[in-house]
Amino acid sequence: MKLNQLSLFLENRPGRLIEPTRLLAAEGINVMTLCLADTAEFGILRLIVQNPTRAAEVLNAAGWAVNLTEVVAVEVPDQPGGLAEVLGVFEQAGLNVEYVYAFTLRREDRAILVFRFQEPDQAITALQASGHQVLDAERLEALVG
């Protein structure tokens, strides 16, 4: 039920973001969403892509340091209160969110929230117990593709 997120280390200077994205484009790998955490010196680019294993291979072969992390993706209605409701579940379960980012789908009025936890399995259990739709790679592919 977890998704594989790619992380890349980038120096914080002009032009660094474009190289990995060009590599993925050349391989025909679609980026579904991304999130960039930045400091004064460097950034960490986190990506959700169609084929994370292939994307990691491509980036590795080009000499990038790539890290794969398991994240939890939840489907919510794209309307006020959607995020707050899910966060309520984690508060109840006493789970700490390391970071979160979100994207909406073109065709449906749905939003996808991507969460990073130290204990993703506990978060999934809590979400399923409260009736939330946790996405696996296949379901995400179906929604986006």
Partner 1 sequence: MLKELWNDAAGGFHPASAPDFLPEAALKEVQLRRLRAVVERAYDNVALFHDRLRERDLTPAAIQSLEDIRHLPFTVKADLRDTYPFGLFASPMSEVVRLHASSGTTGKPIVVAYTREDIEVWSEVMARTLACCSLHRGDIVQNAFGYGLFTGGLGAHYGAEALGATVIPISGGNTERQIMVIRDFGVSALFSTPSYFTHLVERASELGIDLRELPLRVGVFGAEPWSDGMRSHIEAAAGISAFDIYGLSEIIGPGVASECPEHHGLHVFEDHFYPEIIDPETGEPLPDGEEGELVLTTLSKRAMPMIRYRTRDITAIIPERCGCGRSLRRIQRIGRRSDDMIIIRGVNIFPSQVEAALLAVEGTLPHYRIILSREQGLDQMTVEVEVTPEVLSDQVRVIEDMRERIAQAIERILGIRVGLRLVEPHSIERSQGKAKRVIDQRGD
Query: Does residue 116 bind partner 1 (CB under 8 A)?
Result: yes
Alpha-carbon distance of 143 to 135, in angstroms, equals 10
Going by C-alpha positions, the residue among 38, 104, 114 that lies closest to residue 74 is 114
Angle formed by the axes of helices 18-26 and 52-61, nearest 10°? 120
CB of 41 to partner 1, least distance (A): 7
To which residue do tokens 């073109």 refer? 106
Q: Which is nearer to partner 1, 2 or 116 (CB)?
A: 116
- Sign of the CA dihedral 2, 58, 30, 115? positive
Residues 55-74 that bind partner 1 (CB under 8 A): 57, 60-61, 63-67, 69
CB of 39 to partner 1, least distance (A): 6
Residues 83-102 that bind partner 1 (CB under 8 A): 98-99
Alpha-carbon distance of 27 to 55, in angstroms, equals 8
Count of residues that bind partner 1 according to CB under 8 A: 24
Give the residues lining the site for partner 1 (CB under 8 A).
5, 7, 9-11, 16, 37, 39, 41-42, 44, 46, 57, 60-61, 63-67, 69, 98-99, 116
